[in-house]
A and B are shown apart, each in its own frame.
Chain A
Amino acid sequence: MIQETHFNVFILALLVAIPAWAIAVDEPFTVTLMTRAVIFAIAAVGLNIALGLGGLVSLGHAAFFGIGGYAMGILAFHQQTYAPIFEWPFVIEGTKSMPVIWLVAVVASSLAALVIGLLSLRTSGVYFIMITLAFGQMFFFYCIGWSAYGGEDGLSIYVRNGFPGLNTLDPIQFYAICFSILALVLWIVSALAKSSFGLALNAARQVPHRVETAGLNTKRIQLAAFVISGAITGLAGALFADLNRFVSPAMFSWQLSGEIIVFVVIGGVGRLFGPVVGALVFVALEHILGGLSEFWHIYLGLLLLLIVLFSHGGLIGMVCGRKAVHD
């Protein structure tokens, strides 16, 4: 068995080595694939806070991914058409600056997570799953009808948004941005998991009544985790929109919510690098199986069934063994 920290360092090394190799042999498409994997990884790291640490099975995280995407789409669209978003009571212009877009994406998805969380945390278990799924679908239908921003067809953004000092149109530079954000998010999550908040959240998943007895409000802790989780997934959505230079209601689809859960579970629920491994494997499968057969989802489905029925702890669990403590 390999120690989990060693395995994590190995994954980080892969995330640096593969794109470096791709640049050396002039394979920009591999860089784009890796960027896609890294962005999915950020979204899944976000979900893992709610799912892994908090035990909240959210089947509606595409809502936050989509909100992040539309934050980018709407801001860039207004900049592109030189039409301000609001003229009254004060003028708000669009923008093509990534940091501003990220900020808006994070704030908007946190707010959405706060409202959805407040409502869905009134219940638990299977109700929670169904309610998050339903709210995700609400955003999907809303955006289909939102004709001001393309409705069903979505919005195309012609030029990728800018980051001060970098040429974001160069695939490797954009990859570097996404990778840095992933690293930052992983660092935040690992610090969060070790903090008193993380410990309380973990305890609230395992023995909620004892946490209540200790004088902590479990629902409030879970709500905070859900909001942080949604914010990170929203940030990933903004990056994903920038990668494709396109947003559409498909970013809100329930399939995507399911896939983000799949990333987390393939890699290993509640493990720091689980979502990263899961996203990498998923994008690799999508590319390889998708090249072999038009119907690759059948194979993905079968593989997923096998993982659920016969494996415990995802791929990291297979490589590193079960966690020694607590679980």
Chain B
Amino acid sequence: MTFILVIEQILNGLQFGIMLFLMAAGLTLIFGVMGLINLAHGSLYMVGAFAAAAVAGLTGSFGLSLIAALAASALAGVIVETVVIRRLYNKDHLDQVLATFALILIFSEGTRWVFGSFPLFLEIPEYLSGPVSLPGGIQYPLYRLALIFAGLLVAAGLMLLIAKTRIGIQIRAGENDREMIAALGVDINKLYTLIFALGAALAGLAGALVGAIQSVQMGMGEPVLILAFVVIVIGGIGSIKGALIGSILVGLTDTLGSVFLPQLFGLFMDTAAATNIGSSLASMAIYILMGVVLIWRPTGLFGARG
């Protein structure tokens, strides 16, 4: 019983972490290359989820809803980048925080205006619903398993893109020296828009995928955004590998903490008090993890030194 529970919770943590990675990867790329802190990344997550829910409601097709999520969030990313974000690259962090905070207000209220205040629901498709039997007699929801695989696939694709392709070389060059790559004849504006759209599409995909196991509602993006920040602080800014490892660490800590900390305290105090203290501590666990990483390595596990 305990063994099965542990495995189940590890898988849940992995699934949560992988979805966080989709958010954190875009954020860390955008910061690494453009030096921009984008609070509105959570809004792009929300746009993806709402686009998926709307298209799924119209067509009933899960595949089409995912394509819609990717397209809508990438498009939103392109529009936002060209209209607002582009003017912020040379401004200081305070201006970036404020402008992207303003974008959150516009996106959130705009969504409420169009879709109303009630949450929407995305259905898990027939072929991905139901449990699947894993070795060791574990029954696990197929959809969550699919999320883990889809996320890992995207992570692998992203790493290949950055390591092997021409675009990837330009992205890495952009992280190291913006002026030099512009001087070498790369259209830096186009590259920035492309990276922003890529990050936006990843966020939108995460929103749509997670939307099927949670409700799709206004303000759904910001808690995930803040967790993605924790991931980036742990992993180190600009590092995709850091984002992946940070995401999985955060996902596992949060999921395992909320299940096992109350049980751990239950070993030496009465159940009610243990549940109370355990769940309070669990809600703080990832921030404590972040604090420990900060004391040990202020620039994150894979961040640039100095």
Which residues of A are in contact with B by a Cβ distance under 8 Å?
51, 57, 59, 119-120, 122-123, 125-127, 129-131, 133-135, 137-138, 141-142, 144-148, 254, 258, 261-262, 265, 269, 295-298, 300-302, 304-305, 307-309
Contact = CB atoms under 8 A, between A and B. Distances in A.
Given A295-B109, A297-B109, A59 B233 contact: no
A304 B105 contact: yes
Interface in B278-299: 279-280, 283-284, 287, 290-291, 294-295, 298-299
B115 interface: no
A123 B298 CA distance: 6
B108 interface: yes
A57 B106 contact: no
B300 to A, nearest CB: 8
A123 B304 CA distance: 12
Nearest to A300: B105
B113 interface: yes
B295 to A, nearest CB: 7
B165 interface: no
B298 A122 contact: yes
B102 A138 contact: no
Most buried by B among A123, A127, A135, A146: A127
B105 A134 contact: no
12 contacts: A122-B298, A123-B298, A130-B37, A134-B226, A145-B279, A261-B97, A296-B109, A298-B105, A298-B110, A301-B106, A305-B103, A308-B91
A141 B284 CA distance: 8
A269 B94 contact: yes
A307 B230 CA distance: 29
Nearest to B27: A130
Contact of B280 (A133, A135, A145): A145
Contacts of B109: 295-298, 301
A126 B106 contact: no
Nearest to B113: A295
B121 interface: no
B239 to A, nearest CB: 13
Q: Across chains A and B, which 7 residue pairs bring their CB atoms closest together, nearest first?
A: A301-B105, A304-B102, A301-B106, A130-B229, A138-B287, A141-B283, A297-B109
B232 interface: yes
Interface residues of B, number: 44
Contact of A134 (B94, B279, B280, B290): B290
A146 B277 CA distance: 9
B250 to A, nearest CB: 11
Contacts of B232: 130
Contacts of B84: 305, 309
A119 B294 contact: yes
Contact of B276 (A126, A137, A147, A262): A147
A296 B105 CA distance: 9
Given A134-B226, A138-B287, A148-B276, 7 more contacts: A119-B295, A262-B101, A296-B109, A297-B105, A297-B106, A301-B109, A308-B91
B230 A134 contact: yes
Interface string B19-45: 000000000000100000101000000
A110 B298 CA distance: 23
Contact of A51 (B88, B94, B113): B94
B97 A59 contact: yes
B98 A308 contact: yes
Contact of B103 (A59, A146, A265, A301): A301
A302 B97 contact: no
A134 B298 contact: no
A265 to B, nearest CB: 6
Given A122-B298, A137-B226, A298-B109, A308 B102 contact: yes
Contacts of A51: 94
A43 B61 CA distance: 50
A303 B295 CA distance: 40
Given A131-B294, A261-B101, A298 B284 contact: no
